[in-house]
Amino acid sequence: MSPRRLFRIVAVAEAITWALLLGGMFLKYVTETTEVGVSIGGMLHGVVFIAYVLTVLVVAVDARWSKGRTVLGVLSAIPPFFTIWFDLAVEKRGGLGERWRLREEQPTGGVDKAVGWLVRKPLQGAATGVVAVAVLTGVALLVGPPVGS
């Protein structure tokens, strides 16, 4: 899977889970009918949010994004639906390619080597990503919900 395709899938999934969470919040706080939407939408959004942030970091390292672009990519997950805007804006500026740089180039430095391993071994990389999302989700659950929830 190309960096562009991976990023697009995760960015759209993050926006969809935002919609689910917002719908759940509408049902909970406006119609006062059920909290199920917040429970399910909130959990899904949290998991996909973590996956999105990890995806931003992997793609940023591989594509040699600037620190500013990387931070903006991570922050775009906070307002609803901004991940789609960010995805389209970065693609327009040539920041999302069809090839992984670190599949072809020799990695230099620890972070490049780690990302290089992830993209050169896609099955192990995907499994590592799933484990990382699960572990970070577990940590988030231990820490508790965001303030004001």
- Domain count within the chain: 1
29 occurs within a structural domain: yes
Dump pLDDT digits (tens) for 3-21: 999 999 999 999 999 999 9
148 occurs within a structural domain: no
46 occurs within a structural domain: yes
When pLDDT is cut at 50, 70 and 90, the band that residue 147 belongs to is confident
| Closest alpha carbon to 58 in 16, 91, 10 | 10
60 occurs within a structural domain: yes
34 occurs within a structural domain: yes
- Give the domain range for residue 22: 3-143
Helix (H) or strand (E) holding 131: helix 122-143
Q: What is the pTM of this model?
A: 0.93
149 occurs within a structural domain: no
54 occurs within a structural domain: yes
